[in-house]
């Protein structure tokens, strides 16, 4: 009798563990709705993140100065290409807004980041692009 109870418990537990493998998966995100601008903005964010990580690795002593300079030049060139393409598309984030750079004034309605000039959502405390306090 004990063997039957144990067998039922094992089969039930196995069913719960293996059930996700046999479920029909939900459709993924709608990639058709993604535009060239969205892809460029994601690449821009990744490029900035890579530059920041590269700077961190160099300051921690994990990179030689020659390697750091070479990689930094490559990432900066890639960022420049992405920004030029965004500017060509006329997308926000490709070019800093007038007066939106460091030391510049905020937009009149307060919807621009004072550090990078990116559009900021109302009610947010930090910029989504650069992370600075709004």
Confidence (pLDDT) at 12: 94
DSSP string, 59-115: HTT-S-HHHHHHHHHHHHHHHHHHHHHHHHHT-TTSSPPTT-STT-PPPTTS-B-TT
Confidence (pLDDT) at 108: 42
Task: Give the separation between CA 10 and CA 4, rounded to whole angstroms.
Answer: 10
> Which residue did the predictor score with more confidence, 101 or 130?
130
Same domain flag for 109 and 127: yes
| pLDDT digit string, tens, across residues 46-103 | 999 999 999 999 999 999 999 999 999 999 999 999 999 988 887 565 444 444 444 4
> Which residue did the predictor score with more confidence, 76 or 126?
76
Please report whether residue 24 resides in a domain.
no
> Which residue did the predictor score with more confidence, 125 or 33?
125
Q: Which domain holds residue 129?
A: 97-134
Banded model confidence at residue 134, pLDDT cuts 50, 70, 90: confident
Same domain flag for 41 and 90: yes
Same domain flag for 61 and 79: yes
Same domain flag for 69 and 87: yes
Confidence (pLDDT) at 6: 93
| pLDDT digit string, tens, across residues 3-54 | 999 999 999 999 889 888 888 776 656 555 568 888 899 999 999 999 999 9
| pLDDT over 70 at 107, yes or no | no
- Which residues are paired to 126 by β-bridges? 133
The structural domain count of the chain equals 2
> Which residue did the predictor score with more confidence, 6 or 122?
6
């Amino acid at each position: 009798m004990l063997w039957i109870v144990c067998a039922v418990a094992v089969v039930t537990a196995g069913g719960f563990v293996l059930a996700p493998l046999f479920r029909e998966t939900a459709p993924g995100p709608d990639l058709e709705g993604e535009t060239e601008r969205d892809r460029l903005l994601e690449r821009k964010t990744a490029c900035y993140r890579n530059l920041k990580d590269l700077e961190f690795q160099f300051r921690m002593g994990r990179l030689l100065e020659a390697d750091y300079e070479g990689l930094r030049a490559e990432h900066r060139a890639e960022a420049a290409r992405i920004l030029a393409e965004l500017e060509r598309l006329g997308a926000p984030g490709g070019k800093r807004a007038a007066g939106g750079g460091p030391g510049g004034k905020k937009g009149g309605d307060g919807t621009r980041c004072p550090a990078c000039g990116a559009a900021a959502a109302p009610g947010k405390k930090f910029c989504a692009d650069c992370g600075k306090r709004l």
